[in-house]
C-alpha cells in the first residue's frame, strides 16, 4: 500500500514558523506519512533587494527541518532555474520518486479558488489530491461549495483542514531584518543565525550595520548608533544624502582596535574590499573622521561632527560644544577642532599635523566669507 505524501511548495524566503506549523498541522490532521518541502525558483530580478539564492533557501530549510522525522526536502524546482508549474513538479515527483504513493498538494484557500485557472488545471485535478488550509476569517461554507462544484465536474480529491492563524510573513521578516529589528521567535534560531552570518535580505546600510553590531564591543556599538542617528539628522539639515551618511557612520569605528588615528583608514579599506564600496566621499568620510583634512567634503564634516557630539558622548563641556551645531557647518567644524586642539595640548599630547592643516584651511574658508556645505 502506497504512502500519503504531502507536498508544500513556496519560496521559503525565508522559511519561518508559519511554514513549519502548517506542514505539521497538515501532516497530523490528514494522516500524512511525510511532508515534502519544495522551495520554488525565484526570479532574482523580481525585487529591489534580491531574494536569497536557492542554495541559501535550501540550506535554511535543512537547518530548520532536516532532522524532522516526517519532513523531507526536494530541490526539484531549484534545479530547473526557472519558474515551475505545479502540475509539472507533481508529475516529476510522482514519476521519479513516488510512483506508488499518493501525492497531496497543500495549498491555501485563496489559491484553491483560482485552481481552475492554473496550468493544465484539468490534468492537475484528475491526477492529484489537495489539502486546503482554512484559516480563521475565511468562509467555510463558501469553500465547501467551491469543492462541491468542482467535484460535480471532475473526480476531485480535496479536503480542507482548519489551521492556526499566525501573523507571520516572509515579507515582514525581511523588512524587520533590513530595519535592524528583532525576528526572534518568528523563525528558528538556526535560520536567524544563518541569515545574519550570510548577510541575507540586507541592503548596504543593513550589511554595514550588522557588521558593526557583531564586530564592536557593546559600548562602542552604542556610540556608533549615536553617530548614525546624529549623522542622519545633520545630513537632513545641511543637505547631504542621508543614506551615504548612514553607511559612513555605521562603519567608521569598526576597526577601532587598529589605533586612534589608524582605524579610519583601516575601516575605509575594509569597506571597499568587503562590500565593494567605491564612493570616495563615503570612504574619505570614514578615512578622515578623526583628523579631518583640507578640502574635506560636506559628508566628511558631518561625520566628524556626529562622531564628536553624538548623544552618548559625556565629557566636560559637551553641552556647550553641542551648541556649535547651531552654527553654519564650516564654523561648527572649525570651532569644534579648535577646542579639541586646546584639550589635546592641555594634557600634554601632540596634535596631529593633518588636523592643524585642516583648521588652517577652515579658517581660510571662513575668512573668504563663505560657508562651504551649508
Two domains, one topology: 4-197 and 204-367: no
| Residue 373: per-residue pLDDT | 46
**pLDDT for the residue numbered 70:** 96
Chain segment 228-253, per-residue pLDDT in tens: 999 999 999 999 999 999 999 999 99
Cell of 335: 570651532
Residue extents of the structural domains in the chain: 4-197, 204-367
pLDDT of 315 strictly over 90: no
**pLDDT value at 276 more than 90:** yes
**Residue 48 pLDDT:** 55
Question: If you compute the radius of gyration of the chain from its CA atoms, what whole number of angstroms results?
Answer: 29
Mean pLDDT on 96-125: 94
> How crowded is residue 11: how many other Cβ atoms within 10 Å of its Cβ?
16
Q: What is the mean pLDDT of residues 278-289?
A: 98
Dihedral sign, CA of 201, 205, 208, 209? negative
Give me the chain's average pLDDT, please: 93
In which band, very low, low, confident or very high, does the pLDDT at 50 lie, cut at 50, 70 and 90? low
Element (H, E) at 157: strand 157-162
Share of the chain above pLDDT 70, in %: 97
Strand partners, 217: none
Judging by DSSP bridges, how do beta strands 71-73 and 102-108 pair with one another?
unpaired
CA-CA distance, 39 to 77, in Å (whole number)?
7
CB 290 within 8 A of CB 261: yes
CB-based contact 351:344 (threshold 8 Å): yes
- Exposed e or buried b for every residue in 66-100, given b needs 16+ CB within 10 A? eebeebebbebbbeeeeebebbebbbebbeeebee
Q: How far apart are CA 239 and CA 128, in angstroms?
A: 61
How many other C-beta atoms are found inside a 10 Å radius of the C-beta of residue 143? 17
pTM score, whole prediction: 0.84
**How far apart, in whole angstroms, are the C-alpha atoms of residue 273 and residue 267?**
10
CB of 284 closer than 8 Å to CB of 252: no
Average pLDDT over residues 168-175: 93
Q: What is the pLDDT of residue 367?
A: 92
- Copy the grid coordinates of residue 340: 579639541
* Residue with cell string 592641555: 346
Tell the CATH superfamily of the 4-197 domain: HUPs (3.40.50.620)
Considering the domain 204-367, what is its CATH architecture? Orthogonal Bundle (1.10)
pLDDT one-digit tens code per residue, 185-208: 999 999 999 999 999 999 999 999
The 8 Å CB, 24+ separation contacts for 278-284 are 279/244, 281/244, 282/244, 282/247, 282/248
Give the pLDDT confidence score for residue 374 in this predicted structure.
44
Cβ count within 10 A of residue 63 = 17
Amino acid at each position: 500500500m502506497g504512502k500519503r505524501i504531502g507536498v508544500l511548495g513556496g519560496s521559503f524566503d525565508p522559511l519561518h514558523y508559519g511554514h513549519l506549523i502548517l506542514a505539521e498541522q497538515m501532516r497530523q490532521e490528514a494522516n500524512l506519512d511525510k511532508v515534502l518541502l519544495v522551495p520554488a525558483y525565484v526570479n532574482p530580478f523580481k525585487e529591489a533587494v534580491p531574494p536569497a539564492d536557492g542554495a541559501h533557501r535550501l540550506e535554511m530549510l535543512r537547518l530548520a527541518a532536516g532532522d524532522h522525522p516526517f519532513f523531507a526536502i526536494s530541490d526539484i524546482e531549484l534545479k530547473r532555474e526557472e519558474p515551475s508549474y505545479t502540475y509539472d513538479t507533481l508529475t516529476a515527483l510522482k514519476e521519479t520518486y513516488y510512483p506508488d504513493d499518493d501525492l497531496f498538494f497543500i495549498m491555501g484557500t485563496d489559491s484553491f479558488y483560482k485552481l481552475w485557472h492554473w496550468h493544465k488545471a484539468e490534468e492537475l485535478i484528475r491526477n492529484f489530491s489537495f489539502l486546503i488550509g482554512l484559516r480563521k476569517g475565511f468562509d467555510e461554507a463558501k469553500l465547501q461549495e467551491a469543492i462541491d462544484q468542482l467535484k460535480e465536474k471532475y473526480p476531485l480529491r480535496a479536503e480542507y483542514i482548519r489551521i492556526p492563524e499566525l501573523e507571520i510573513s516572509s515579507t515582514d521578516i525581511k523588512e524587520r531584518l533590513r530595519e535592524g529589528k528583532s525576528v526572534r521567535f518568528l523563525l528558528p534560531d538556526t535560520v536567524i543565525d544563518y541569515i545574519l552570518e550570510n548577510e541575507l535580505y540586507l541592503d548596504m546600510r543593513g550589511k554595514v550595520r550588522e557588521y558593526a553590531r557583531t564586530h564592536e564591543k557593546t559600548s562602542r556599538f552604542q556610540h556608533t548608533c549615536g553617530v548614525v542617528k546624529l549623522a542622519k539628522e545633520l545630513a537632513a539639515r545641511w543637505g547631504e544624502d542621508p543614506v551615504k551618511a548612514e553607511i559612513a557612520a555605521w562603519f567608521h569605528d569598526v576597526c577601532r582596535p587598529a589605533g586612534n588615528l589608524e582605524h579610519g583608514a583601516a575601516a575605509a579599506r575594509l569597506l571597499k574590499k568587503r562590500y565593494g564600496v567605491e564612493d570616495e566621499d563615503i570612504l574619505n568620510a570614514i578615512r578622515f573622521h578623526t583628523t579631518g583634512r583640507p578640502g574635506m567634503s560636506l559628508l566628511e564634516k558631518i561625520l566628524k561632527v556626529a562622531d564628536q557630539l553624538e548623544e552618548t558622548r559625556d565629557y566636560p563641556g559637551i553641552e556647550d560644544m553641542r551648541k556649535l551645531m547651531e552654527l553654519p557647518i564650516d564654523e561648527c567644524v572649525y570651532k569644534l577642532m579648535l577646542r579639541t586642539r586646546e584639550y589635546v595640548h592641555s594634557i600634554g599630547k601632540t596634535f596631529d599635523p593633518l588636523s592643524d592643516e585642516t583648521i588652517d584651511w577652515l579658517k581660510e574658508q571662513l575668512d573668504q566669507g563663505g560657508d562651504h556645505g551649508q
